[in-house]
Amino acid sequence: MQELTHYINGEHVKGTSGRFADVYNPATGEVQAKVPLASAAEMDIAVQAASAAQPAWAATNPQRRARVMMKFVALLNDNMDRLAEALSREHGKTLPDAAGDVQRGLEVVEYCVGAPELLKGDFTDSAGPGIDMYSMRQALGVCAGVTPFNFPAMIPMWMFAPAIACGNAFILKPSERDPSVPLMLAELMEQAGLPKGILQVVNGDKEAVDAIIAHDVIQSIGFVGSTPIAEYIYGRGCANGKRVQCFGGAKNHMIIMPDADLDQAADALIGAGYGAAGERCMAISVAVPVGKDTADKLIEKLIPRIESLKVGPYTAGSDADYGPVVTAAAKANILRLVETGVDQGAELVVDGRDFNLQGYEDGFFVGPHLFDHATKVMDIYTKEIFGPVLVCVRAETYEEALGLAMDHEYGNGTAIYTRDGDTARDFANRINIGMVGINVPIPVPLAYHTFGGWKKSAFGDLNQHGPDAFKFYTRTKTITSRWPSGIRQGGEFNFKAMD
């Protein structure tokens, strides 16, 4: 069986803690590798190596740092198929979806190529008699990120690319469920010209996370995962004087107005609700049709679409719409919540509980489910299911539908389907949710805008990627200078080339 490693100071390093976690193939249910779980001492070794390497990297001019990002983009494109296959093998998502995971991370790296422009400060000439004033953005030092299983390529790149482009060193603690791609990304970064020690990958569990929180050299922490852990890391990290941004759970509503194109809305719900087996923080998990006629017609259109979904292993390529969930425990939790939905009185219109894929009986596959007539007090509505389960909560009016989304404790993403511009504009202005789609089911912003939710979906005052990332991974220093007057003489007549 393959034994994975940490990646410290440019080398694959075996774990020394004696603790390991199993890495499964979700399609077969078989253990395909074991990953070491770092101790606090192992984390300290990585941090010390990062701390030693970071000052020279910060002193490297932004153009040269950007060139590393440019080369890294080329290597990502060259290795796209290899990365996607490794990602699918450990996560379970289809190959096209895995390639999309890599692509959305790559786009943030492309944005980071603009670091020379994004890191420019401000200058005021003659702020006073002979006084100039200017600001500069400087790297924090050593930063860290704790990333989830569901996007093992994209979210690490959302964190380490801007952090490194700003001149920081970065400690990545990926999910222990699918750690191979983060290790591959670290190798590719160094092939692109990144100095050893600037990007470290330390695998682990809570002990490694607590070591990050407690380490006085680490200046910032980024996290994506569940809300309880987001609250824990945010509270502990801030108490330890670190800059922290944490992104938690979601329960994303899509409101379908009576004037919407219902075929378009139904197609959108299929992709947004069941893609990646629902294991997305931006998945649409709640459909809110407005009016009985809208709801009846929508359900009528959804049922055949859902029943025709193809569930299969990543090796099926484009013949599978979605694959297994990541672990047996995840599958059990999804099916448990489905049972609570039935017990609490929701109508299970499409029942995937008996789904069984021939030849993959031990895999972690979950059939598609559709609930109708759910209410806001049911567990299937209040809790994040993180599986292929779409819940329909009917609303009589637009105001009732709006209130459902606004009153929910999570505020990551939402969408509305309508042909009416006034309704769409009102929705966008009033909704208390961070990312809004208008006839767009999964409103994930592109790399040059920022990604972030509201309410219990996000903790911290800056979002991921876009301009906020360069603010998060730097500190602003403001200088006020005055020089005594003197005699200037001599001169140079050549333009000195940049080093």
pLDDT digits over 458-484, tens only?
999 999 999 999 999 999 999 999 988
> How much is the pLDDT for 488?
64
Known catalytic residues are: 281
Closest CA to 171 of 147, 188, 150: 147
Q: Quick one: average pLDDT of 279-298? A: 97
> How much is the pLDDT for 490?
62
Cα gap 188→208, rounded to integer Å = 24
Lateral strand order in the sheet of 142-146: 11-13, 6-8, 199-201, 169-173, 142-146, 218-224, 243-247, 458-459
Model confidence at 492: pLDDT above 70 = no
The alpha carbon dihedral of 414, 417, 420, 421 has a sign of: positive
Model confidence at 292: pLDDT above 80 = yes
Model confidence at 489: pLDDT above 80 = no
> How much is the pLDDT for 328?
97
Model pLDDT for residues 306-321, shown as the tens digit of each residue = 999 999 999 998 899 9
Contact 88, 25 (CB under 8 A): no
pLDDT range class, residue 485, cuts 50, 70, 90: confident
Q: Dig out the tokens for 250 from the structure.
A: 């979601």
Residue 378 Cα to chain centre, angstroms:
28
Model confidence at 266: pLDDT above 80 = yes
Domains of the chain: 2-248+457-480 (3.40.605.10), 252-438 (3.40.309.10)
Q: Quick one: average pLDDT of 78-106? A: 97
> Rounded to the nearest 5°, which phi and psi values hold at 475?
-115, 145
Give percent of the chain with pLDDT exceeding 70: 97
Q: Where are the beta strands (DSSP E) in 18-168?
A: 20-25, 30-36, 123-128, 131-139, 142-146
> How much is the pLDDT for 430?
98
Contact 419, 261 (CB under 8 A): yes
Cα gap 94→100, rounded to integer Å = 10
Give the mean pLDDT of the chain: 96
> How much is the pLDDT for 102?
98
Least confident of 135-144, 314-323, 330-339: 314-323
Cα gap 494→452, rounded to integer Å = 48
Q: Quick one: average pLDDT of 398-421? A: 98
The residue to which tokens 């470290």 are assigned: 200
Give percent of the chain with pLDDT exceeding 90: 95
Model confidence at 497: pLDDT above 90 = no
